[in-house]
Chains A and B, each alone.
Chain A
Amino acid sequence: MKYYDKLVFELSKEGRKGYSLPSNRFPAAPELPVELRREASLDLPEVSEPDVVRHYTNLSQMNFGVDTGFYPLGSCTMKYNPKINEEVAALPGFTGLHPLMHAGLTKGALKVYQDMNKFLAAITGMDTFTFDPCAGAHGELTGLMVMRQYHLQRGDFARTKVIVPDSAHGTNPASAAVCGLEIVEVKSLENGRVDVEALKPLLDGTIAGMMMTNPNTLGLFETQIKEITELVHAAGGLMYYDGANMNPLMGVVRPGDMGFDIMHLNLHKTFSTPHGGGGPGSGPVGVAAHLVDCLPDLRVSGFHGNFGVILRAYAYILMLGRQNLKKVGQYSVLSANYIKECLKDAYKLPIEGVCKHEFVFDGLINDGAHDEVHGATTLDVAKRLLDFGFHAPTIYFPLLFHQALMIEPTETESKETIDAFIDVMHKIAAEAAEDPRILQDAPHGAPIKRPDETAAARNPILKFKDAR
């Protein structure tokens, strides 16, 4: 990757033009009243079309995507983004639809929603989905609103708390707080699973429900899920499934069958829609039949959710069909276990046993610490991986392990890619044992190296004019 140091403002020259608009053939309308006119300057760049194209093309070449190389990010499910999805999402018959067009004008679009509702219900065991949420966290928030709505509709105002495992992703408590619910954490056992004995005393009439993911954030299947859902239901609560870890269950297990009442899916994880550098995503929320009445009043986005993203997921599911669904789950689990077995001789595996689509290492077995030299950390391993053309796994999450390295290969990586990753990880471990400074000095080949994040936070420069 070559270092390209421009910002588009630096290509600007007064009088340059990058657009083409038709001439004005209307009679001139009376001018806007003076007191309503913008008086402030508008310093947007003036750049020609070729220079805009070249600038963004060069920027893109300082980026790494799934199409570039392996992205073993645990909990992100960075699988291949099929291009047929892109083709159908760009069809003018879809992109030209105004969101307020009624059903008679949008039969094709509505059929997509209808089919997706059926497909996702079949895959998850839920009854009905809303497609309004635009991301996973957005879906979580919506799902928690359903939970609260259910109790409010029953006149039960005491249920203001939701139970969350201490291994949960930060969005769970944040979403709960936005929704006006208090978080109660339940402890995990040493094997990373929910401690059912610790759960029991927490269950009372103030509990609206429990949020969990299964497999959990360590990639382990919660084997006591039946007992957990029974306990929570008996206490009058609802079970919410965080669908971020749905991939290993595809075609094998359905959250609805496990006793979950509400769930969200991440179309930009499990259903192959592209990550886009941070969105757009889509987080449809599914509910069991007895909660369908809770859905209508929940307006969480302006129109109908991210239709363009939903279209992409639709194409993906049509390609997979009934026959290929199960392999998504099976191959993702196979690849994860394979990597775990191959690398546990060099990296600390805190929890033995079969994992699902992802697993966690707790740093290097031998971090090379000696005399004055600090040992190589998970961060150092991550940065060194960049030198070999691999994106780092998820680091420092979950918080249960201080040097956490969470690896999720997904089902779209070949054995050759996986073996190459394993080789490099062994090489890095050997480097660390020999001299951790090789890692601490990494990355060596990237356009930039270990930017000063402390300075960025202490003296924020957040727009072009701040820097001048």
Chain B
Amino acid sequence: MSKIIEGLKYSESHEWVKVEGGVAVVGVSDFAQKEMGDITYVDMPDVDDEIAAGEEFGALESVKAASDLIAPVSGKVVAVNEALEDTPELVNEDAFENWIIKVEMSDPSELDDLMDAAAYKAHIGE
């Protein structure tokens, strides 16, 4: 059973969003980290990069696979989790605790296109 946290928004491609004012904190779900296996690298954008909802903004890598990270919202990247550069396995340890990027949203209404916890739970079929 994958951990799912209430109050967060979820995308179909398994990213979660926590809203803190006008900033979206983005990470991947517990389900996603389990699917990946041991994560060996998190490919993150740079601060000040512009990202667009639905487009890839980075990737998760394991020994035998790579999985794109898809932006759940559009905006400017205002922070990246530098701890993940040296210790990518933090995402495996706690996918919700260890966010990946923080985005200053250009269009908060995009959050309405995302799922809530119950809908996401149904989506992953658990």
Q: In the complex, are there CB atoms of A and B closer than 8 Å?
A: yes
Residues of A within 8 A of B (CB): 396, 453-454, 456-458
- List the 7 closest pairs (A to B, CB-CB), nearest first: A457-B40, A454-B38, A453-B63, A458-B40, A457-B63, A454-B63, A454-B40
Q: Which residues of the other chain, B, contact A458 by a CB distance below 8 angstroms? A: 40-41, 88-89
Q: Which residues of B contact A396 (CB under 8 A)?
A: 64
| Cα–Cα, bound, A396→B89 (Å) | 24
Q: How far is the CA of A422 from the CA of B70 in the complex (A)?
A: 45
**B-side contacts of A453, CB under 8 Å:** 63
For A456, the chain B residues whose CB sits under 8 A away are 63
Complexed CA–CA distance, A456 and B40 (Å) = 9
Q: List 9 A-B contacts (CB under 8 A).
A: A453-B63, A454-B63, A456-B63, A457-B40, A457-B41, A457-B61, A458-B41, A458-B88, A458-B89
Query: What A residues does B64 contact at CB under 8 A?
Result: 396
- A-chain residues with CB within 8 Å of residue B62 when the two chains form the complex: 454, 457
- Say whether chain A's binding surface is mostly helix, strand, loop, or mixed: helix
* Residues of B81-102 contacting chain A, CB below 8 A: 88-89
Give every chain A residue within 8 A of B41 (Cβ-Cβ).
457-458
Q: How far is the CB of B11 from chain A (nearest CB, A)?
A: 23
Please, how many angstroms separate the alpha-carbon atoms of A396 and B62 in the complex?
15
Convert B44-81 into 0s and 1s, putting 1 for each residue whose CB lies closer than 8 angstroms to a CB of A: 00000000000000000111100000000000000000
B35 shortest CB reach to chain A, Å? 13
Q: Which residues in B have their C-beta under 8 angstroms from that of A454?
A: 38, 40, 62-63
Nearest CB in chain A to that of B63: its residue: A453
In the complex, the chain A residue whose C-beta lies closest to that of B92 is A454
Nearest CB to that of A454 among chain B residues? B38
Measured between beta carbons, the chain B residues less than 8 angstroms from A457 are: 40-41, 61-63
* Complex alpha-carbon distance, A291 and B63, angstroms: 41
Q: How far is the CA of A454 from the CA of B62 in the complex (A)?
A: 8
Write the nearest CB–CB distance from A125 to chain B, whole angstroms: 38
If A454-B38, A454-B62, A457-B41 are given as contacts, then 11 extra A-B residue pairs at C-beta distance below 8 Å, sorted by A number, are A396-B64, A454-B40, A454-B63, A456-B63, A457-B40, A457-B62, A457-B63, A458-B40, A458-B41, A458-B88, A458-B89
A211 to B26, CA, bound (A): 38
Q: Which residues of A contact B89 (CB under 8 A)?
A: 458
Closest chain-B Cβ to A130's Cβ sits at a distance in Å of 33
Contacts of B38 on A, CB cut-off 8 Å? 454
Among the interface residues A396, A453, A454, A456, which one has the most CB atoms of the partner chain B within 10 A? Answer: A454
**Which of A396, A453, A456, A458 has the most B CB atoms < 10 Å from its CB?**
A458
Please, how many angstroms separate the alpha-carbon atoms of A434 and B71 in the complex?
47
Residues of chain A with a CB closer than 8 A to B88's CB: 458
Min CB–CB distance B92 → chain A (angstroms) = 10
- In the complex, the chain B residue whose C-beta lies closest to that of A456 is B63
- The residue in chain A whose Cβ has the minimal distance to the Cβ of B38 is A454
Task: Say how far B39's CB is from chain A's closest CB, in angstroms.
Answer: 9
The CA of A458 and the CA of B40, in the complex, are separated in Å by 5
Shortest Cβ distance from A453 into B: residue: B63
For B61, give the chain A residue with the smallest CB separation: A457
Please indicate the chain A residues that have their CB under 8 angstroms from the CB of B40 in the complex.
454, 457-458
Distance in Å: Cβ of A459 to nearest Cβ of chain B = 9
A348→B109 CA distance, assembly (Å): 49
- How far is A219 from B40 in the complex, measured between Cα atoms in Å? 34
Chain B contacts with A in 6-38, Cβ cutoff 8 A? 38
CB of A185, distance to nearest CB on chain B (Å): 16
